[in-house]
Amino acid sequence: MEKEFTCTMREMVQSNRVKFKRGQLVYLKIKRLLDILCSLLGMIILSPVFLGAAIAVKAEEPAGKIIYQQNRIGRSGRSFKLYKFRTMRTNAPELSTLEFNNAQSYVTRVGRFLRDSSIDELPQLFNVLIGNMSLVGPRPLMPRERDVHMKRFFYGLYQVRPGITGMAQTHGRDDMDNDQKVAWDRKYVEQISIVTDIKLLLRTVFKVLQREGVRDKAEQSIETTDTAGATYCNSAHEKSK
């Protein structure tokens, strides 16, 4: 079922493409090289954090895995394994956090800290290194989030690699619904450049330190209304004035 849906998504991507400018096409090639260099450098510099997090996760639940893998959808609608430090107990059901009735009861003490500090996302630097992700781009979704996928396809968001951080994450993150996130991610794809990426990376550091716009993941709900088009079109209309 998942493979069949992925194939359908690949076909849809082809008919909803953003027309990049020549400079953006050049940058997209350079961006991959920068991702490789920055992810390598990041893993080296943050190696003490990686080690400390791994020891803490293993110490709290010795029988559990350190790294948690989850299927996500990437560029061109292809699925890949996303890596995170494990933050939930080993007896937690195989569900997304949003699908739990009481996710807090499954989050470990170490996991709570890792989530609050966003350290649980650091293993995704390896996803960046091997080419599944980029440092900056729309956050990757799980295959089952079909309503949001369709909106992303409609706005051509799968032309670029998903990112560890993105424009939606730095402009409200968990304080906005999925339609608003789609609109922000569309804006990113249209404005993609090295300047935009640098600004978003710096803004991400500030947001993480301030924990601004972050809601407890256990309290989030899936909001899939049909206002993404209106949100984006209104934004485009304001620009044309």
> CA–CA separation, 104 vs 88, rounded Å?
9
In a domain, 156, yes or no: yes
Confidence band of 232 (pLDDT split at 50, 70, 90): very low
Residue-level pLDDT at 208: 81
Domain range enclosing 24: 2-236
Mean of the per-residue pLDDT values for the chain?
Answer: 81
In a domain, 241, yes or no: no
Q: How many domains does the chain have?
A: 1
Residue-level pLDDT at 178: 83
Long-range CB contacts for residues 140-147, cutoff 8 Å, separation at least 24? 140/72, 140/73, 140/74, 140/80, 140/82, 141/72, 141/73, 142/70, 142/71, 142/72, 142/73, 142/96, 143/2, 143/5, 143/6, 143/71, 143/72, 143/73, 143/79, 144/96, 145/222, 146/5, 147/178, 147/224
In a domain, 181, yes or no: yes
Residue 155 clears pLDDT 60, i.e. is over it: yes
In a domain, 44, yes or no: yes
What share of the chain has pLDDT > 70, as a percent?
75
